[in-house]
């Protein structure tokens, strides 16, 4: 029988570990190699999260499965099993702009969803959307917003480079 996970918070500096008390309803941001996975703390060392059909211990495979899948399952797991060796932190980042729902409602709703199959889409129904809706009643994902913004900036940058290159070629031809 496991005891609750030591209640720690992974900081940016890996040499520093800051002790925090996890509270039911807290959003847990887990830093995977190339994305963040999100879960919601429900107490006693456990979290509820949205995961691809078969969550492999190797996060690269799980993230590929998630990207290719159009469904995911709501799971309740030990926080330490979900975090593995990755850094994590409590990140209730929208508390100032979106008042959280009552903790009892958040936890009850999360627990009621455990075991359910849910639609999954990287841009509209991912693990961050899932936990944000549980905490705030609004499904949102800053990862998606930032990725779209970066993609837009990237596309605009590429377009500018192409236009600049074409202009230089025309100028060079005229000379």
Q: Is residue 2 part of a domain?
A: no
Question: Is 127 considered catalytic here?
Answer: yes
Whether 34 is a known active-site residue: answer: no
Instruction: Give the model's pLDDT for residue 152.
Output: 43
Q: Are residues 67 and 14 in the same domain?
A: yes
- Number of structural domains in the chain: 2
Catalytic residue among 18, 34, 49, 129: 49
The structure's pTM equals 0.71
- Tell whether 36 is covered by a domain: yes
Q: Which of 37, 54, 94, 172 is catalytic?
A: 37
pLDDT digits (tens, 9 = 90+) for 96-154: 999 999 999 999 999 999 999 999 887 888 899 999 999 999 989 887 655 554 444 44
Distance CA 85, CA 12 (A): 14
Contact 77/110 with Cβ under 8 angstroms? no
23 shares a domain with 103? yes
Strand partners, 75: 49
Instruction: Judge if 39 and 113 occupy the same domain.
Output: yes
Can you give the residue range of the structural domain that contains 174?
141-175
Pick the catalytic residue from 125, 127, 129, 172. 127
């Amino acid at each position: 029988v496991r005891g609750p996970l030591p209640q720690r918070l992974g900081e940016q500096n890996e040499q520093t570990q800051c002790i925090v008390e996890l509270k039911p309803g807290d959003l847990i941001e887990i830093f995977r190699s190339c994305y963040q996975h999100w879960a919601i703390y429900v107490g006693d060392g456990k979290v509820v999260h949205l995961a691809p059909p078969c969550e492999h211990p190797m996060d690269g495979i799980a993230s590929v499965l998630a990207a290719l899948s159009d469904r995911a399952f709501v799971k309740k797991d030990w926080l330490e099993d979900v975090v593995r060796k990755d850094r994590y932190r409590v990140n209730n980042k929208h508390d100032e702009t979106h008042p959280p729902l009552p903790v009892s409602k958040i936890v009850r709703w999360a627990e009621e969803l455990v075991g359910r199959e849910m639609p999954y889409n990287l841009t509209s129904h991912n693990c961050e959307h899932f936990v944000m809706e549980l905490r705030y009643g609004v499904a949102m994902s800053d990862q998606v917003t930032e990725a779209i913004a970066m993609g837009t900036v990237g596309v605009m940058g590429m377009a500018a480079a192409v236009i600049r290159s074409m202009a230089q070629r025309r100028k060079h031809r005229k000379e």
